[in-house]
Structure formats: structure tokens, C-alpha cells
């Protein structure tokens, strides 16, 4: 047991260095009931996030396109040091009984990471959560507030944060994503 814990620690260290791991297993938040993958497709801007090492720039956005009934193409982009960087991935509904629980992978060598739509009205906002258990001892998580527009009213953001908190997700370290001066890079 001891060795495997140590091994796990060294394996995930690069991942958790950017994050604050939380003790205990992942929370089990409610997800969007009757989730429609089709309505969720299209362009979403990131308005706020929990800090993630793989996101360094600004102007984050993701474009989702349906490829089959349950698989999607995911193109995420950001502006970093004056350049637009794009990464492409694939997404799937992992459990048809729970269509709001998507999995997304940005490389065919990587497993799907959870990408759960906790709540969305499809036309304004979407709350996304991703959590990975490490031996059920602790967990590392990511959370995003997405919007169909680059910015959202403060009250909407506060509401979104409240939804995370009600689901036992700590968003006290959530930061706003810079979405100013982005359109000149398109």
C-alpha cells in the first residue's frame, strides 16, 4: 500500500503542482437533467475557471461540433503571447443514462477526462466540472463558467458560483478569464 501511494504521488505531482488537491474523494454533484448534447454544441467562451496549469493565456473559447449522435469534436483556443493556440480533442457521452456526463480527451494516447455539465440553459451559460479521484485519498478538480458571450453580468457569475458551492465544490480560488481585445486575433 505504502509503495503504491508513493508511486501515485510522484505520478500525479506534476498535475497537482498547479492545483490545490482536496482531501477525500470527488464530490458527486447534480448534473443537468435531460441534457441535450445537440443544443450544447457550438461556441462557448470561458468566463471564469479554477486555475489550471494547461491554461496560461486569455481569450479562451471552445467550439463543440457533433460528429455522431454521441461523439463530438472539441476545438479549444486561447491567445498566448500574442498568438492563437488551438488544441483539438474528442468528446463522448460516457454513460447514456447520464448524458450530461461527458468525457473529453485532447490526445488519443490520453484517457477521457470527466467533463460534466452541471447546469446549462444552452443559450447563455454552462457550468462545467471535472474531477479526478486519486486513490480516493484526495482529488484534483477543474471548474469552468462558460458563456455564449465573452462576458457575463456579475450577478450571473455569483449565481453560477453558488451552484458549484451548493454541490460541495470549492470555487473560492476561481479566477476571471481575460476576454478583452480578443476579436482582433480571429
Ligand X SMILES: *[C@@H]1O[C@H](CO)[C@@H](O)[C@H](O)[C@H]1NC(C)=O
Residues 16, 27, 52, 63: which binds ligand X (CB under 6 A)?
63
**Nearest distance from C-beta of residue 73 to ligand X, angstroms:** 7
Task: Give counts: helices (H), strands (E), the chain.
Answer: 3, 10
**Nearest distance from C-beta of residue 67 to ligand X, angstroms:** 10
Task: Give the residue with the Cβ less far from ligand X, 104 or 171.
Answer: 104
- Give strand pairing partners of 139: 22, 133
Dist CA 44 CA 59 (whole Å):
11
Residues 36, 39, 53, 65: which binds ligand X (CB under 6 A)?
65
**Nearest distance from C-beta of residue 61 to ligand X, angstroms:** 8
Task: Give the residue with the Cβ less far from ligand X, 43 or 173.
Answer: 43
Dist CA 70 CA 66 (whole Å):
8
Nearest to 58 by CA among 67, 49, 66: 49
Segment 11 to 50, residues that bind ligand X, using CB under 6 A: 43
**Nearest distance from C-beta of residue 65 to ligand X, angstroms:** 4
Q: Check residue 67 for interaction with ligand X (CB under 6 A).
A: no
Q: Which three cell numbers stand for residue 12?
A: 500525479
**Nearest distance from C-beta of residue 186 to ligand X, angstroms:** 8
Task: Give the residue with the Cβ less far from ligand X, 84 or 124.
Answer: 84
Q: Buried b / exposed e across 104-139, counting CB within 10 Å, b at 16+?
A: bbbeeeeeebbbbbbbbebeebbbbbbbbebeeebb
Q: Which residues in this chain contact ligand X in the complex, by CB under 6 A?
A: 43, 63, 65
Amino acid at each position: 500500500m505504502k509503495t503504491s501511494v508513493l508511486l501515485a504521488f510522484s505520478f500525479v505531482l506534476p498535475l497537482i503542482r498547479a492545483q490545490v488537491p482536496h482531501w477525500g474523494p470527488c464530490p458527486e454533484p447534480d448534473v443537468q437533467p435531460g441534457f441535450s448534447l445537440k443544443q450544447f454544441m457550438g461556441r462557448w467562451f470561458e468566463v471564469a475557471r479554477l486555475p489550471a496549469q494547461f491554461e496560461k493565456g486569455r481569450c479562451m473559447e471552445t467550439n463543440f461540433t457533433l460528429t455522431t449522435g454521441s461523439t463530438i469534436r472539441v476545438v479549444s483556443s486561447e491567445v498566448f503571447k500574442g498568438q492563437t493556440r488551438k488544441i483539438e480533442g474528442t468528446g463522448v457521452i460516457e454513460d447514456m443514462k447520464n448524458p450530461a456526463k461527458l468525457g473529453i480527451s485532447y490526445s488519443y494516447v490520453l484517457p477521457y477526462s470527466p467533463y460534466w455539465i452541471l447546469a446549462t440553459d444552452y443559450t447563455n451559460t454552462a457550468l462545467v466540472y471535472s474531477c479526478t479521484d486519486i486513490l480516493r485519498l484526495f482529488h484534483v478538480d477543474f471548474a469552468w463558467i462558460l458563456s455564449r458571450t465573452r462576458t457575463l453580468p456579475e450577478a450571473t457569475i455569483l449565481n453560477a458560483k453558488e451552484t458549484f458551492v451548493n454541490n460541495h465544490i470549492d470555487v473560492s480560488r476561481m479566477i476571471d478569464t481575460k476576454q478583452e481585445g480578443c476579436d482582433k486575433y480571429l
